[in-house]
Amino acid sequence: MPDFVNSLIANLFFILERLNWLSLFDILLVTAIIFIILLLLRGTQAEVLLRGILLLIALVGILISLEILPAFSWLMRTTLPALLLAIPVIFAPEIRHGLERLGRAGVGRYGDSEKWHTHDSINHIISAVVRLAERQHGALIILQRQNSLNEYVSTGVRLDAQVTPELLLQIFYPNTPLHDGAVIIKGQHIIAAACVLPLSASGVLEKSPDRQMGLRHRAALGISEVSDAVAVVVSEETGDISVVHGGRMLRRLDANRLINILNTFFPPEERLGRFRSITNLFKNLGRGGEDY
């Protein structure tokens, strides 16, 4: 055991003696890459597993560098390349979602697509959602922003109708043909209804203590993970209103909070330059309470 400790200390001193500005930059670069990967995978099931793998690789690397366990070092050098090749296969969905988030990182807060939603159309949506919640009629409304949702529009029934509270109430009336699935709204028009959306596999809903969220909430999280759309959900069981964006969910909203949130995402044109994005609020969720 003393030999192991002495060897470890000797190696640490050897590394410190060789440190220079280029070495420090190299270490900072690797640290930044690992941090970015963890940031992109935050909120997914792969986050904890990936942290465990990185820790294991670091420990294995230290043991190999000591060269006091030749058989173990040989085994690790032989199997480590295979493990690195297996990581993209194991984490394929998470890597895809991470790259999609990275691709959206440079998108401005208030692009032209957000101006498509007029103040009147947002008011119509809010009016419909509040009435649906009062009646406990389940609903899933997707508000398109800059990312195209055409692949999901094609899974539903094309409408191309003007947004009105009455039409939304009719679409989500229980047991009607268009009740199941999502409504996708672009600007002032309901593009399609009964659309099929990807379900979230991030595990966010598993953290909910009351477990009252079903397929609508999973679909809302799913579409928010692959696009910059804003999803509004009405629970059929409780009538609770939720808003989902960027893989984060605000729950149990009343009418005033819903108005404030949607007006922040889609502010009136004359106030575009004065509104601060609510994205940071969603990024800081997940710490308990009523928001997940």
Among 54-63, 88-97, 153-162, 177-186, name the one with the lowest average pLDDT: 88-97
- Same domain? For 97 and 149 the reply is no
- Same domain? For 120 and 247 the reply is yes
Give the residue among 273, 271, 239 at the shortest CA–CA distance from 258. Answer: 239
- Same domain? For 68 and 150 the reply is no
CATH code, domain with 152: 3.40.1700.10
Give the residue among 183, 187, 192 at the shortest CA–CA distance from 216. Answer: 183
Distance CA 141, CA 129 (A): 9
Q: Which of 49, 68, 103 is the last residue of a domain?
A: 103
Give the residue among 262, 216, 241 at the shortest CA–CA distance from 133. Answer: 241
Distance CA 250, CA 240 (A): 11
Domain containing 256: what range? 112-283
- Residue that has been written with the tokens 């999609």 in this structure: 100
Number of domains in the chain: 2
- Same domain? For 209 and 138 the reply is yes
Q: Please write the tens of the pLDDT for every residue from 34-49.
A: 788 777 766 555 555 6
26 in a domain, yes or no? Answer: yes
- Same domain? For 121 and 266 the reply is yes
Q: Please write the tens of the pLDDT for every residue from 163-217.
A: 999 999 999 999 899 988 999 999 889 999 999 998 887 666 666 555 556 889 9
Partner residues linked to 233 by β-bridges: 140, 242
Give the mean pLDDT of 265-275. 58
Tokens representing 280 are 């940071």
- Same domain? For 216 and 264 the reply is yes
The model carries a pTM of 0.60
Report the pLDDT value the prediction gives residue 141, as an integer from 0 to 100: 97
- Same domain? For 182 and 144 the reply is yes
SS3 content of the chain, % helix, strand, coil (to 5): 55, 15, 30
290 in a domain, yes or no? Answer: no
Amino acid at position 134, single letter: E
- Same domain? For 141 and 117 the reply is yes
User: Band of the pLDDT at 97, cuts 50, 70, 90?
Assistant: low
Distance CA 34, CA 220 (A): 29
